[in-house]
Amino acid sequence: MRALSAPRGGSPVDRLGIKRDPGRVPASQGFPCSHPRTMDACRLLLLLLLGFLAAVAPLASAQLSPEFYKDSCPDAEKIVAAVIEKKLKEDPGTAAGLLRLIFHDCFANGCDASILIDPLSNQSAEKEAGPNISVRGFEVIDEAKKELEAKCPNTVSCADIVVLSARDSIHLAGGPAYKVQMGRRDSLVSNREEADNNLPGPDIPVPKLVSEFLSRGFSAEEMVVLLAGGHSIGKVRCIFIEPDATPMDSGYQASISKLCDGPNRDTGFVNMDEHNPDSIDGTYFANVIAKKMPLTIDRLLGIDAKTTPIIKDMLNKPDDFLPSFAKAMEKLSELKVITGKDGEIRKTCSEFNNPMPATGGSVIRISSANPEDLEGLSSGGKQVSGIVSQGSKDPLPEPAKVVDGHRKKVAGRHHKLRGDSS
């Protein structure tokens, strides 16, 4: 242990207040717990430390439970499941949208429904971050919330609805059935910068991507299966496809060109899986090895020294994918959750219960971010499509800009959006 500075003319004093001979190094290399006079104190300190760690780790996960709504809203999961089933029948691409939605919510700063908050005219929100401007599924969450509020007011959090919606849509799209814990609370902050900075782009280098996942507790194997699940369904905009960025199968590239060249460059879409775009299965691994994936990151995974063996191993063991994907989704669903008395249970998922008053000017609630209004907001240049494929090709709706019956131009957004916990 490093000695504290000694008084002038005196011997060094360690952190327990014991004078030490500067010319003598104890057998313990200076660690004071081997000293007879300090052993009892160290034992007590160790016991206190172990007790503290046992009490706090992992506190948030311990407060989650699969039966959290057993008494307060016993039909919560059935209500969400009914909404998801109806929406998938209307649009099979809903599953991809909801899968991307949970990834963008949880990976940015935890599974706290912060992505659902609408920005105001002078306050930014996570929803308008560059990687999030094409995220879909908000209306599905809103519908499920409305049904739940009618049955169990002020009970089920929007964060739990996001998790349930993703789980149910994954299963209905052919993916695995898995259990999720409930009891999340909704955030009181929605920060555009966190999403811009924390969500990886479609052409991020593989070592950087592995590092991003590792920092959140995911192994390279878990990262690969999450991407495999997310990139086996849905569509991707042509503007995010870069055939020359890394090798692409020539025949596949020709088919991409037919869909995306010319005027279709800005408006066209390509299926993530050219054969089964609405089904979660293990074909992703064969497509990666064959260089038949539209996004650069997927083709990079197939040639990187660290991830190529994982891709090939999953290709050779097709029965391992769905169980591995289920476990990874369970883990993702518990990333940095808010529990207990922190946060809130929102009455409407797109706004805080008690939004803090904005300073100056009229406040305009924007129901859905418009890419034209948000141009240039992404901090990552090409990093605007995010890492999980989008689920719908419908154009983004115009934002609501009506205040007191008059249309007003949206002002610049400068502050992260907060709610008041009081």
**Active site (catalytic) residues:** 104
Lookup result for tokens 């990666």: 288
Residue 378 backbone dihedrals phi, psi, to 5 degrees: -70, 130
> What Å distances lie between residue 337 and 59, 340, 392, CA to CA?
10, 10, 28
SS3 at position 419: strand
- Token pair 């064959």 is at which residue? 290
- Tell me the Ramachandran region of residue 416: left when phi exceeds 0, alpha when psi lies from -120 to 50, beta otherwise: beta
Separation CA 221–CA 323 (nearest Å)? 13
* Phi and psi torsions of 49, nearest 5°: -65, -45
Between vectors from CA 416 to CA 414 and to CA 421, what angle results, nearest 5°? 140
107 touches 204 (CB < 8 A)? no
135/278 Cα distance (integer angstroms): 17
420 contact partners, CB below 8 Å, separation of at least 6:
188, 352, 354, 355, 356
Q: Are strands 269-271 and 235-237 parallel, antiparallel or unpaired?
A: antiparallel
Q: SS3 breakdown of the chain: % helix, strand, coil, rounded to 5?
A: 40, 10, 50
Tokens of 185: 């609370």
> CB count, 10 Å around CB of 207?
12
DSSP string, 60-112: HHHT-BTTTTTTT-TTHHHHHHHHHHHHHHH-TTHHHHHHHHHHHHHHHH-SS
Tokens encoding 178: 């898995």
**Helix 220-230 and helix 206-214, axial crossing angle in degrees, nearest 10:** 110
